[in-house]
Chain A
Amino acid sequence: QVQLVESGGGLVKPGGSLRLSCAASGFTFTDYYMSWIRQAPGKGLEWVSYISSSSDYTNYADSVKGRFTISRDNAKNSLDLQMNSLRVEDTALYYCARGGYDSVVKYWGQGTLVTVSS
């Protein structure tokens, strides 16, 4: 069965950095785009970024462009999100998800919480 397990969340001060990871299993990782989607406490869903299966195409929401970098390691079936210059408004539960550009986001992890606060 498809499993997506996020890690790396935590408490960080404004302006700080954090790196999230997602371990994928149960499907052929190299067949799919992968995405990060976030949800601020009590709010709706917001797409953050996606990456193509071979890493040759990435896209970002305007709210994170220039601060966040998505990457993947197909040999390790893993997806990362490097988050720099973090802001209070980046506080959210960050979900790793399969799909995003050419296929629907069918599978989601359980999320990792990022809190940006002084």
Chain B
Amino acid sequence: EIVLTQSPGTLSLSPGERATLSCRASQRVSSSYLAWFQQKPGQAPRLLIDAASSRATGIPDRFSGSGSGTEFTLTISRLEPEDFAVYYCQRYGTSLTFGGGTKVEIK
């Protein structure tokens, strides 16, 4: 079973700063099946990135995804106030696996 490990657990940053979130897989993951989600308190998760680097419809271009194999990254180029939330990576396919999440909080 593939395990996804996200780091850091919490990222404390100020608006306007760059956020770099990591997702490491215990085995190689096809880039085609790696996604990133954003979740705010009291809301369902929202799809940000599919296929490791393709932004979902309506997602601002300050969000970008990259990586392959076992190392994937979500980058938020300049944090806006509405970006402070929890972010999850997910691998889908035969089974679905979520990372433990990274909380991006206001410093």
Contacts and interface: CB of A to CB of B under 8 A. Distances in A.
Given A37-B96, A104-B47, A104-B50, A45 B35 contact: no
B72 interface: no
Given A106-B56, A108-B44, A110-B44, A101 B94 contact: yes
Query: B-side binding surface: helix, strand, loop or mixed?
Result: loop
Query: A-side binding surface: helix, strand, loop or mixed?
Result: loop
Contacts of B37: 45
Among A37, A44, A50, A95, the one with the most B-chain Cβ atoms within 10 Å of its Cβ is A44
B: interface residue count bin: 20 to 34
Contacts of A32: none
Nearest to B6: A44
A73 interface: no
Interface of B: 35, 37, 39, 44-45, 47, 50-51, 56, 88, 90, 92-101
